[in-house]
Chains A and B, each alone.
Chain A
Amino acid sequence: MKLPELIVNCIRHATANVFSTMLGVEVRQGEVRTENGAPDANDGVVSLIGLAGTWTGAGSISCSPALACRICSVLLMTENTAVDEDVLDAVAELTNMIIGSVKTDLEEHLGPLGLSIPTVVFGRNFRTRSAANADWMVVPFDWDGEILQVRLCLTRTERDTRSHLQMASHACTVDV
């Protein structure tokens, strides 16, 4: 199996599993695409997490503020109507679980990978860019008409693991 196909399979499995286990909902996967260079501007919530090892890169989850609030409400059994600390924390943890599961599945094929702590951004008209210089696999999921996008990019490296663990937490930059 080629790496892009493997990544998409891992994202599909991890996202479906996290949503069904933690939120009790089924999400429908949309059409997979590849992004290279500057991605479209974002409006909403983006959560980023670094990956490091013999492969390095980043994973992210992005969604609208409304979907972020809904995720938090279901996850914590609370009423969330605006993006606050709880909502950002819930999206960060969802990212940690999804990309963490993807990482664990990929390790069977790619060897040990490290995972950084998630960073969440909320705002309007901002762009995220990875220094990893690799294509992003973008897998959209539909939850009752609201779209959540899971992205992952990975590139092979020959540098030692320790230096990449330091790099991974700074792999993504945000342009506002």
Chain B
Amino acid sequence: MAPDVLVVDDSAAIRKILQRVLRQTGMDINTIHEAGDGQEAIELLKLHKPALILTDINMPKMDGLQLLAAVKASDAWRNIPVVMITTEGGETKVGEAVKLGAAGYVRKPFTADQIKEKLNGILEPVLPL
């Protein structure tokens, strides 16, 4: 069965765009789950085990860096690659994300090709392209 993907962003518009872009990449994906913040993402992770997490950084309640830290601190989730998709281009937040174990980073605005290129290197072993 094809794996699931979890998309985390407080903007419903970005979640819709990422749904479309992920389908356009041609990757074999089963379900794309959506969460509006890190807390919602944690609740979804308890129910599903996605092969990939795409997350924004700036979000209310629990931001993307806190989510990343929680995923990497969990024995059950730490092997799930987490890709940060955000307007934050500053080295501080990128550096923090890398230090916490982010698999990659895409800056908004993005094209479908940029997402695909970023995911190619990360996902080939888990998501057939």
A-side interface residues toward B, CB under 8 Å?
A: 17-18, 21-22, 72, 75-77, 85-86, 89-90, 92-93, 96-97, 100-101, 103-104, 107, 112-113, 115, 117
Contact = CB atoms under 8 A, between A and B. Distances in A.
Given A89-B12, A115-B58, A97 B90 contact: no
Contact of B89 (A75, A76, A104): A104
Contacts of A97: 87, 108-109
Given A100-B108, A101-B87, A104-B88, A93 B58 contact: no
Contacts of B107: 104
Contacts of B89: 100-101, 104, 107
Contacts of B90: 103-104, 107, 112-113
20 contacts: A17-B109, A22-B109, A75-B13, A77-B20, A86-B12, A89-B11, A96-B11, A96-B58, A97-B109, A100-B86, A100-B108, A101-B89, A101-B108, A103-B90, A104-B89, A104-B107, A112-B92, A115-B58, A117-B10, A117-B60
How large, as a class, is the contact surface on chain B?
20 to 34
A107 to B, nearest CB: 5
B117 to A, nearest CB: 14
B70 interface: no
4 residue pairs, one from A and one from B, having the closest CB atoms: A100-B87, A104-B89, A21-B109, A93-B11
Interface string B8-44: 0011111011001000000000000000000000000
Interface string B83-101: 0001111101000000000
Nearest to B89: A104
B58 A117 contact: yes
Nearest to A18: B109
B13 to A, nearest CB: 5
Contact of B17 (A76, A103, A107, A115): A76
